[in-house]
Structure 1
Amino acid sequence: MRVLMSCATLLIGTLTVFAADPPSQEYVVLGFRTVKVFDYKKALREAGEEIPRFPSRTTNALIAEIVYSRSRLKKIRSRAKDAGLKDQDIIFLINGELLKTPTDGNKILQKIRYSDALEMRVIRRNENQWERINVQVKPLTDLEYYRTQVFDQLRRDEELTVCRIWSARESLHRFTDDDIQLYFKKKRKEPLQLMIQLELFLPDAPLWKDPETLSCFMIKTDQAEYKLTYDDSEFKKELEVDKQFEETKKSIQIAQEQLDAVAKKYGQDSLEYTEASNTLLVAKRKYIRLEIAEEEELARLRQKSKEDNKVLNANFNKIYANASEQMRKMLDEVLDKLGTQERISNETLFRLESMGLIRGQITLAKMLNGWKYYEMPLKKKQRKMIDDIINSKTVFMYHEREPEKKYEVTPKQKEQMKAVLGVFEAEGGKLGN
């Protein structure tokens, strides 16, 4: 404890700096941490230091130090400080219970939830006298609590455009094995967007055998089983176009065979030959229309890719121009190895992700290293799934490529999802269709 272990004046005399601080217990949501008076005196004895005079009957009490919420959604603050608690206050009564043993205080505080009121009686040194003061920490509503659990940071998205991301995890490193989370983000002039993200490290996963479907994540709750896969509308569209090409080719082949048979039997001047010739012509025209449509679609995609790459390259050039020499080497390494599909060290990827750089390229590199990954905007129809995950006693997630490897969603992950969802809705966020 920095305050307790500095040479600040307390009681009569000063506190001593120890080689090892006495053990402390932190209550971030309440806004303070504690050291037992018993442990503090013990540390002094072991250090051969003089023990200052404490108020009578405080051997079982706790010494307080203010800590601050790390959430950036609101001004950084401490609930305990707002209630009047100060550094080095000696807590001897909690919610009407006198601390009779050195462990009583922390046992009581550990049971206090954010929605509970907390009243403490403390002793404070004021010049040359002791003051006994009441400190009342008000309970939090669910939303107030969720705001203390959600952190926001500036990051770059797949286009390397700066955006703000809100998450219930201080670290925005995405590739943590057995992970599921919600977060929301905002780009300039765009509405808030709630995202769902899952990842599993499955380096030995077999190849997907069904060429007509995309492999996906599965989530199994107490009530249902849900499938999470990337939007496959474009994939299905390509399959449908391929199917039309094959069917038209077959129609042309059959029409040509029928035309040859009619010519042989009735001759080319016959009515039958004219009808068969028209059937072949219709099939060929359909094939030409398919080719024209395909070329137009390819041209559209090329134009879109050109525009996307223009934005991407401009943003990357800005990053590269402002990067250090060491950072440029790492960026070069990632881009070169992605081009040849070589593995990139986790150390390099971790550092780049820590700086919020080349998000899309890092994702691709991690997938080449064996990660299975899903990240998409949450849709209205998926809201029921999130509620089911949060409220289910047992939730498992797995990937279709290795269904035998199931990972259980933890209570902490559920609480984080609940917090992000609550803040997203409170900030006016709306789910898309």
Structure 2
Amino acid sequence: MYKICVFAGTSDGRELIDFLQQYKFDITVCVATEYGKHLLNDDIKVRDGKMDIECMREFFVDQKFDTILDCTHPYAQIVTENIYMTCKNLGIEYLRINREDSQLDDCVQVNTVEDAVEYLKSTTGNILSTIGSKELHKFADCGYIDRMHVRVLPFEESLELCKKANIPSSNIIAMQGPFTYELNYALVKALDIKVILTKDSGTVGGFLEKLQVAKDANIKLVVINKPQQKTGYTLQQIKQIIENKAKVFVVALGVGALDFLTPRAKTILQNADVIIGAKRAIAEVSSIVEDKQLIAEIDTDKIVEHINATDATNKTIAVIFTGDVGFYSGAAKLRERIPNVVSICGISSPIYLAAKLNMPWEDIKLVSMHQRKNNIIANIKRYHKVFALLGGQNTVTSLCELLLSYKIEVKICVGENLSYDNEKITIGTPATLKNQQFSSLS
């Protein structure tokens, strides 16, 4: 099983972990503190405690990770460098998640904590520090410690660091975030704050709330700039990269014609090594792909056999289905059998037909009578609009005869060969449509 190690400890790190858990990767999360461990779900494999570069090397070698995801705080330079160098030396894939830079036009910017210490000597009034506790010792002899109020995590280690920095106990705010605009504003007013000291922690780190408070309260916001970041990716880009490691994609072709294939689905098919699906679907996509192994198969057991027989470490497999993977699709059975499947949605026939009829579809009852039993009469009596997928013995003619036997007068819209050049949409009543000929899949 593909093994991923996540260095977390931030809110975006926890979001990434939640995303990873939908796939059956072997995931290990590394956090520096017991507090970081406490924020994670109990079913996650966690290694807590700080690691130097030698400890990281031993851990990575022992666990045989395939990929390391560095989602540590943007100011944790030493940790990031150690993770990067360890991965580089061991030949392990390293992916860094970076936060987007904030707009700092209305802020006082300094490059380091030491620069902040010096700048704040030129200010007057109370200061609210939101930079945490680890570097507070640099303020110990600043000369204005009595007007510094510090917001830190409510843990013994944080309080001890405050003590070593000579922060008066009355100036310590021990709180756990996230912190809203309202709470920040209330603190500023209650403590008569004139300067907020912060880091550029981005949107997920609550920076925008502090920026807005500073503007509304007409006070200074001093920002310690982020250090130079390792080349990395946004959280959304990382999610896309991880999806591509899943190796097996369930791809919806949509309503029919390739004009309605989503760009994402097309990209996956063109990048896949093996494409499996119904004979007609395979023939359809063969015009947009080259040098692929194309397998015509619809039986789930045999599809699973093909997947298991494929070298999944080096090849990407796309299993294709018409319509959408969530609407009476064979994709459901496959997802139960194969781990790490990524589903790519498509434009389903109900959505397409509703659009052609200029009809909203949020109030349509969706049912399938294609090789399924369904009490269509009960649904028609209960719902104003019903979409029925027909097939097999359940034809338009049999449906019309059933409606006539119950003396139900409704308008019927029949869609055939939707999205193709020979598309046909017929509108009538049970009486006018019962003797007409329609495609078996309508």
Same fold (TM over 0.5): no
TM band (smaller chain):
under 0.3
Normalization by structure 2: what TM-score?
Answer: 0.21
The two structures have a TM-score, normalised by structure 1, of 0.21
Bigger radius of gyration, 1 or 2?
1
Q: Which has the higher helix share?
A: 1
Q: Say which structure, 1 or 2, has more relative contact order (CA 8 Å, 6+ apart).
A: 1
